[in-house]
Amino acid sequence: MRDTSLSVNKMASYCLTVSRLQHALGLGVRRLHITTRLSAHGKVAMSRFEPNNFLNYEKLQKNIEIVRKRLNRPLTLSEKIVYGHLDDPVGQEIVRGRTYLRLHPDRVAMQDATAQMAMLQFISSGLPRVAVPSTIHCDHLIEAQVGGAKDLERAKEMHQEVYSFIASAGAKYGVGFWKPGSGIIHQIILENYAYPGLLLIGTDSHSPNGGGLGSICIGVGGADAVDVMAGIPWELKCPKVIGVKLTGSLSGWTSPKDIILKVAGILTVKGGTGAIVEYHGPGVDSISCTGMATICNMGAEIGATTSVFPYNHRMKTYLNKTGRSEIAALADEFKDNLVPDSGCEYDEVIEINLSELKPHINGPFTPDLAHPVAEIGAVAEKSGWPLEVKVGLIGSCTNSSYEDMGRAAAVAKQALDKGIKCKGHFTVSPGSEQIRATIERDGYAKILRDVGGIVLANACGPCIGQWDRRDVKKGEKNTIVTSFNRNFTARNDANPATHAFVTSPEIVTALAIAGTLKFDPEKDFLTAANGEKFKLQPPNADELPVRDFDPGQDTYQHPPSDPGNLRVDISPQSQRLQLLEPFEKWDGKDLEDMQVLIKVKGKCTTDHISAAGPWLKFRGHLDNISNNMLIGAINLENNKANNVKNQLTGDYGAVPDTARYYKKAGVQWVVVGDENYGEGSSREHAALEPRHLGGRAIITRSFARIHETNLKKQGLLPLTFADPADYDKIRPDDKISIQGLKKFAPGKPLKAVIKHKDGSQDTIQLNHTFNETQIEWFQAGSALNRMKELQKQ
């Protein structure tokens, strides 16, 4: 990159000139979003300059005023930001929980595992350039093995083909590219792109992290990202709003993580479905900006559309510290639009007194099984969970801020001062290159290494199963404690016998030092190297570095303004990447005699439907990645994973193999699922794979929001039992016909005829949430097919 460094004074002058020019052009208070970083020479380097990515608080305010007048009531913060981005604020029907809103998000963010399919779909659209600022972040493909530097180099070599593809696709189509080693997408967004009032969609379920900076950031599938990048209004079912009123203040061992752990215990993994969780109240001011981000990040685990905090001085401080003081000044000016109206009403209210909140730890196997840390030892003993903490893991997108690392280091330092270290393994995943460089400079990294830790690459790593774990054998019962957000069975290490618990970084560190779940740092003692008993004191650390952040290496590649003849090549022989073929259009007939492929028992997350870990390398190759379809789902018939009966041959085999056999034989099939089907990740592969292998419908008791939308986007029918008890009427060897598709309409149920092997039948009603546009996706074969049809009109 050519040297664009400017002195601080020249930079300020430049910004002022830009502002005056905009004003002269009639752009009012719009401001160019210029992200800056200090160079090694102490100058400000303009490494990310996006002329089309501006703040427009005037437009936001205008839309808010229109909607407030129409609804004639005070608005929540969530409503202000969402309705402020309406395509038609004058005519849009607005009913919480019922109508679909047409919105214009400000930007798109994609991580490398989901960006592959998103960019393949964008290429298929035939459009020349993205219509909104968009970025790709390389964070998912780096496997934790021996340590940061070596793991990063290994990943670059192993995934060179994929990195080259998404980098060149970004350059050709106008998408910024954050290279491997940059950090985790959500931390990068918080440090560079999030701001109060922003509406962002991200192809990762933990995109809500940006809510800690007053943004509405929503996790979606790649097809949704394509819509926004194409400049098409994006649809979102008008969210309900759950208010969480915070009183009191955090202190001692209690951290921001404990707030969301408590909320998860209250709402469960599906209690936030269809709603935005909006935090408010006097207790908010006791939480740092990055602490608010932690809370919003893990809000994905309760099924929430997203979570958000109101603009306050903690956010302003963070903006100033990350080189965005101009944005902070504008946010101050328009603050009334960035906080809820007095007297606004929520659909549900939860109140938490932070002064009374105790440290929590959630798990195992689900993030909503909440326990106070003081009680987990006794619960574990009673439940037969392993007490020994084999590994403590801190970092990830949820808890890898400077403050998080500082509090963990404060605990570790006390242990080192007494001559002791972690009893088990201990790993540290920095959230970004900026965090890594800063904790190295300020000594936190050394302390964490000295206590027994290994500093991993700036990447997701073990949090998403990218962990080459070797200290236990698969099937060996053991306990790990993490500061991550998700702890589904086998998620972190592919071992279904691993009991994973999630908590704050400081509690992880304390438990790793103690080596057991049966340790409460608030009251229990440790033994020093000299035999003396001592208690750990509550950790204290700076919210932000005193000496500003060290940006580390510049890892950003800005797309050229003119891509010229840039090509994006994909080899036909590639096992990693594959151009997409359009799915077949609906033939205009009812779906008759579809074979039940699998009747799923219990929890079925997107990890069960399309596993991550070693399968991530095939995320750009639909046919190869489809070999993992539903291999983690439990078959109700035999209580086994990846073992179903082929009804045509009578043999039992893997789920993907059976689906391929049916497809080759011309037999369409259906999946039957339980509650909250598809919870977890935003990965659209969990929808693409069933469609690719011949599936036509998924029938469940209920769906998680993102997965339901992803299924619709790919031309599948996500349907729910009108009577949840009808789940029990379906047998594994049944055939199902779905009737009424010729008159498919919003709000009108469909009929299913269940044909049993013994010749008997059951007829049941199936509900759906399709609107008119989504029905057109189904009829066209997919949302992408429909986009192409509209381009030809």
Burial of 330 (0-12, 13-18, 19+ CB in 10 A): buried
Both tokens assigned to 308: 């958000």
Q: Residue 696 is encoded by which pair of tokens?
A: 């036509």
* pLDDT for 6: 30
DSSP H or E run through 350: strand 348-353
pLDDT of residue 207: 97
Q: Is 402 helix (H, G, I), strand (E, B) or coil?
A: helix
Given the residues 204, 224, 368, 520, the one annotated as active site: 204
Per the residue annotation, which of 206, 280, 360, 486 is the catalytic one? 486
Q: What is the mean pLDDT of each run of 10 residues along the chain (793 residues)?
A: 31 32 28 35 33 70 98 98 98 96 97 95 93 97 95 96 96 97 98 98 96 97 94 96 98 98 96 96 98 97 97 98 96 97 98 98 97 98 98 96 98 98 97 98 98 97 95 96 95 96 98 98 98 97 96 96 88 93 96 98 95 90 97 97 97 98 98 95 93 98 94 98 98 97 97 97 98 97 94 83
> Is the separation of the CB atoms in 428 and 453 below 8 Å?
yes
User: In angstroms, rounded to a whole number, what is the distance separating the alpha carbons of residues 510 and 523?
Assistant: 12
Q: How many C-beta neighbours within 10 Å does residue 9 have?
A: 9
Amino acid at 604: C
Omega before 364 within 30 of 0, i.e. cis: yes
What angle (nearest 5°) sits at the alpha carbon of residue 555, between those of residues 549 and 559?
A: 125
- 607 catalytic, yes or no? no
Q: Which two tokens stand for residue 142?
A: 């780096």
Instruction: Select which of 683, 691, 696, 768 is catalytic.
Output: 683
Distance CA 115, CA 133 (A): 15
Active site residue 159: no
Take residue 630 and report the two structure tokens written for it: 């539903």
- pLDDT (0 to 100) of residue 569: 80
139 counts as catalytic: yes
Annotated catalytic residue: which of 5, 207, 610, 681? 681
Distance (Å, rounded) from C-alpha 348 to C-alpha 338?
21
Alpha carbons within 13 A on the beta-carbon side of 433:
18
| 657 flagged as catalytic | no
CA 160 to centroid of chain Cα atoms: 25
Backbone angles phi, psi at 15, to 5 degrees: -60, -40
Annotated active-site residue 619? The verdict is: no
Q: What is the DSSP string of 246-285?
A: EES---TT--HHHHHHHHHHHHTTTTTBTEEEEEESGGGG
> Phi then psi for 753, rounded to 5 degrees?
-105, 120
Q: What DSSP state is assigned to residue 639?
A: T
The answer to whether the CB of 402 falls within 8 A of the CB of 438 is yes
Residue of 33, 96, 140, 407 marked catalytic? 140
Joined tokens for residue 792: 């030809």
d(CA 649, CA 538): 63
Rg (CA), the chain: 26
- In this structure, the chain runs to a length of 793
Can you tell me the distance from the alpha carbon of 429 to that of 455, in angstroms, rounded to the nearest whole number? Answer: 6
Maximum pairwise Cα distance, the chain: 83
Active site residue 140: yes
Name residue, tokens 């429909």: 786
Q: Which of 366, 438, 352 is nearest to 401 (CA)?
A: 438
The residues, any chain, with a CB within 8 Å of residue 380's CB and separated by 6 or more, are 386, 387, 479, 517, 518
Residue 776's identity, in one-letter code, is E
Residue (of 188, 187, 185) closest to 294 by Cα position: 187
pLDDT at 56: 87
Which residues lie closer than 8 Å to 578 by C-beta, 6 or more apart?
A: 120, 570, 620, 621, 622, 623, 624
Q: Is 623 helix (H, G, I), strand (E, B) or coil?
A: helix
Q: Read off the pTM.
A: 0.89
Instruction: Give the Cα separation of 254 and 272 in Å (integer).
Output: 23
- Separation of alpha carbons 765 and 35, rounded Å: 53
User: Would you call 95 exposed, middle or buried from its count of C-beta atoms within 10 A (0-12, 13-18, 19+)?
Assistant: exposed
- Measured between alpha carbons, how far is 182 from 430 in angstroms, rounded to an integer? 10
